[in-house]
Structure 1
Amino acid sequence: MIYAFDSYYFGDRAKTVCIAFENWDSETEAKIFTQTTAVAANYESGAFYKRELPCILSLLRSIELKKDDLIIVDGYVTLDNTGKIGLGGHLFESLERKFTVVGIAKNGFNSEDDQRRNVYRGESKTPLFVTAIGADVDEITLRVEKMHGKFRIPTLLKKLDQLTRIK
């Protein structure tokens, strides 16, 4: 199963949603998980994980992950070539390195990262930025390219983003 997570912030509350789907090219989700929690930390430039990681870990308590499950986050796994990690890297460490974590970011991050791949979908001239840990990033990149939907943002990731914004 693939579990994609995203959070949206409403003042002092965070709504976290997870869409679970069977395959990379799935058009519809198998299940949706939702939770609203208090915001754990204020936004801190360069340390986004401090705000979002507690939300994801809290929602993950209601999901029974199995051996080959994979997690997608809206953000980065790696941030640069010096070993600095983003939200996905911190999630990977929190899960004791047992599950592959993929970062699919919509906005660029200004640093050199040999593990970051640009994915152009549909007719978009703007890439998605893909990073991964626990799996080969080039293999993951091919899978992201083939996700359902003909636009830049795959169908289920667009739905995920929309669901987080509903109070």
Structure 2
Amino acid sequence: MAVHFEGAQATAAAAAFDAWDAAEPMKTYVSPIDHVDKAARGELDLREVACVMQLLREHSLAPELILIDGFVHLDADETPGVGQRLYQALGGTVPIVGVSKKRLPGLSAQFEVLREDEAPPLVVTCAGIDIGAAKVRLRSMHGRKRVPTLMKLAARLAKSKE
């Protein structure tokens, strides 16, 4: 899943798949969101949680796992990030795997996944699933580049003007 913000509007998008190595989605979902509040300065930006929840409701989705572009927790002490808040909003019943291209100072190499030689690692955090299992699944995702194909697709759909 991915969320793109533009002014007071946002678009949430998801690509559903049935196998981790799938090159194509089974189906894609897009939800335009007419109004989102501005992020509170100096606080964790939680607008994405409401946008993902709207996408899930609007399309009557009940995923087995949600893969987000971002952090589930912000450090090894599991300070809650957007993914942890989403996990809590879903009642702790749907595992969340967060994938980021950025590193945070509180996350060591144990959270890194290399998908491509000579490319910086991706950072993986999760809730409701073992970190080792999350890393194996991410590593197996389709795509020759650093970021998996279906994650790129969700980001493109969220940014699309169509």
Q: Is the structural similarity TM-score above 0.5?
A: yes
Matched ranges for 1:1-167 at <5 A: 5-37=1-33, 38-42=35-39, 44-48=41-45, 50-61=46-57, 62-65=59-62, 69-112=64-107, 117-167=111-161
Q: Aligned partners of 2:154, 2:69: CA distance in 1, in Å? A: 10
Counterpart CA distance in 2 for 1:160 and 1:29 is 10
| Runs of 5+ unmatched residues, structure 2 | none
TM-score (norm 1): 0.87
Higher RCO (C-alpha 8 Å, min separation 6): 2
Deviation, structure 1 residue 100: 0.7
TM-score, normalised relative to structure 2: 0.90
Q: Say which SS state the counterpart of residue 138 (structure 1) adopts.
A: helix
Q: Secondary structure at the match of 2:55?
A: helix
Runs of 4+ that moved beyond 6 A: none
Distance 2:97 2:20 in 1: 12
Question: How far has the Cα of 1:135 moved from its partner?
Answer: 1.0
Q: Counterpart of 2:44 in structure 1: which amino acid?
A: A
**Which ranges in structure 1 are unaligned for 5 or more consecutive residues?**
none
Q: 1:31 to 1:43 in 2, by over 3 A?
A: farther
**Matched length:** 159
What RMSD, in angstroms, separates the aligned Cα atoms of the two structures? Answer: 1.8
Report the identity percentage: 30
Distance 1:74 1:15 in 2: 14
Is the partner of 2:160 in helix, strand or coil? coil
